[in-house]
Amino acid sequence: GAVVSQHPSRVICKSGTSVKIECRSLDFQATTMFWYRQFPKQSLMLMATSNEGSKATYEQGVEKDKFLINHASLTLSTLTVTSAHPEDSSFYICSAYGTGGGLFFGSGTQLSVL
C-alpha cells in the first residue's frame, strides 16, 4: 500500500534553533500535502496546505514566517519550525493526497524544545 515517510520521528532541540521535518510520499505522487499539529490530549489541528511548486496556504492563526513550508516536488514537503520555543513543542504530522485520490498520513514527529 501507499506509504508516507516522515522524519525525524522525534527531535529535541534548544530554544532558538530551527528544526526541519520532512514528509515524503514513497510510492506515489502527491498533488497536495497537509501539515497538522497536535497538543497533548487534543485533536489534530490543520496548519497549512502545501501544493507542489506554489506557496503554502496557512490556516488562520498559524504564523507563516515561523512555520516555513516548502513543497519542492510531488513527493516531498518540508516543514521548518524557525526559532523554536518551548510553546512550539508538539506532535506534528503530515498527510499526502495522491493524484489517484488516496489520502495517507505520515507517522508524525514529536518535537520537544528545551
Partner 1 sequence: SQELEQSPQSLIVQEGKNLTINCTSSKTLYGLYWYKQKYGEGLIFLMMLQKGGEEKSHEKITAKLDEKKQQSSLHITASQPSHAGIYLCGADIGSGNTGKLIFGQGTTLQVKP
Give the residues lining the site for partner 1 (CB under 8 A): 6, 32, 34, 38, 40-46, 49, 91, 93, 95-97, 101, 103-108, 110
Q: Residue 32: which H helix or E strand, with range?
A: strand 30-38
**Closest CB to partner 1 among 79 and 96?**
96
Name the minimum Å distance from CB 105 to partner 1.
5
Name the minimum Å distance from CB 73 to partner 1.
17
- Say what the alpha-carbon torsion angle 80, 105, 54, 72 is, to the nearest 10 degrees: 70
Name the minimum Å distance from CB 91 to partner 1.
6
Nearest to 19 by CA among 90, 83, 93: 83
CA within 13 Å, CB half, 100: 8
**Closest CB to partner 1 among 48 and 84?**
48
**Closest CB to partner 1 among 10 and 64?**
10
Q: Is the dihedral of CA 57, 112, 80, 16 positive or negative?
A: positive
Name the minimum Å distance from CB 82 to partner 1.
23
